[in-house]
Each structure stands twice: as structure tokens, then as C-alpha cells.
A and B are shown apart, each in its own frame.
Chain A
């Protein structure tokens, strides 16, 4: 298993609420990427953080936002939750452009 951890494991929210997901990167890694994986689909790139700055963003609306902290851990925030936001949220850490290693994911259910 990788050294990437995520919390919480599962989360249930209602439409319109806000949620914060957390990711601790593997030791020595300075880059965190976030993905949304709907059931039966491949991961979809949300954004990447490198040394506390956003370093690329996929086709997700501004209500998806993030942070990276000086210890390279990261948060994903989603505002105004919609039913379609129900998915597995994965983070992956890497050292710069090296291989990405995934965390176990947070399963978000929006009711």
C-alpha cells in the first residue's frame, strides 16, 4: 500500500451543503492531484497542487476548490453539493512529475 491517506472514508451530505475532504501525501512528495471517480467510470481530473499553488485544473466548476498546506497535505472543498457529485474522490501524491500514488478515496453520497 502507498503512504497516501484520505479522510473521511465515507460521507453522506444533502444537496446544497458543503464538504471538505482531506488528503495526506506520501512522505517526500510535494504534489497532490484530485480525481472524481463515478461508479463504473475512470477517474476524472479535478485539479493538481504543486508546492501550495494550483498547477492545473480539469473541467470542474469553481465550486470545486482546494488547498495545499506547507506539509503538502491537501483539501478538496465542494460547495453547493449536487446529486451528481456523488462519487469516489481520490487524491494522488507524487514528487513533481514522477509517478502518482493514489490514496484509498472518500466515498461521498449526496442525498
Chain B
């Protein structure tokens, strides 16, 4: 089955700096890669997703890149703000079934 690895496990940045979180996956059949943000005690919330027919997707300060050959994808957050502080999870699946999540990255943005 699919195995998703996520790095780093913790990330601390200064407000206004960029943050990058990287994930690798093992199953070449995976074609859907969402990123979720989870604040303490709350549900995971989708922040951006990408499908395998696209190499990059951007939504304001958030971007995701996908390298299918290398089986890795990354989340980029620019101009970070304190409210970006949360745990971020990457995930991979084949057509949104049997979705496998990474272990999470705790992002802290210092004011």
C-alpha cells in the first residue's frame, strides 16, 4: 500500500518568512495530493490540493508543487502570518480512496 513520509516534523519561522514542507510517496498509482491544516482541537481543513496531471498550483500565499517522477510534492507558504501556525498534513491517494496521510508538520510562526 501507499506510504507517505513528511518532513520536517516541526518548523519554526519568523513572521513574513516562507515555509516549505516536503512529502514523498511510494505508490506510483497515486494521483491526488491534498494538504490539510489542523489547528488544536479542530478538524483538518483542506488548504490546497493537486492532481497528477498538474505540476504546480497556487492560491494566494500557498502553492503546491508535484514531481511525479521523483514521487514527491511540497507545500510552500509565503509571507507567513501567526495565524498560519498549526499542524499541516500531506496526503496521497488513488482517486481519493484509501488516502494515506503523512505524520504532520507543526508550523510555528513567530511574530
Contacts and interface: CB of A to CB of B under 8 A. Distances in A.
Interface in A83-111: 90, 94, 96-105
B109 to A, nearest CB: 20
Given A41-B104, A42-B104, A99-B34, A104 B42 contact: yes
Q: Report, as a range, how many residues of chain B touch the other chain.
A: 20 to 34
Interface stretch (B14-22, B52-60, B65-73, B93-101): B93-101
A100 B99 contact: yes
B43 interface: yes
B45 interface: yes
Interface string A9-41: 000000000000000000000010101000011
A29 to B, nearest CB: 12
Interface string B80-111: 00000000010100011111111110000000
Nearest to A41: B103
B97 A90 contact: no
B95 A100 contact: no
B74 to A, nearest CB: 17
Main secondary structure of the interface of B (DSSP, over half): strand
Nearest to B100: A45
A31 B93 CA distance: 15
Given A97-B32, A99-B34, A44 B101 contact: yes
A68 interface: no
B101 A42 contact: yes
B46 A99 contact: yes
Contact of A98 (B96, B100, B102): B96
A55 interface: yes
A56 B45 contact: no
Interface of A: 2, 31, 33, 35, 40-45, 48, 55-59, 90, 94, 96-105
25 contacts: A2-B43, A33-B97, A33-B99, A41-B104, A42-B6, A42-B103, A42-B104, A43-B89, A43-B101, A45-B98, A45-B100, A48-B98, A55-B97, A57-B98, A58-B98, A59-B1, A94-B96, A97-B95, A97-B97, A99-B49, A101-B46, A102-B36, A102-B44, A104-B43, A105-B43
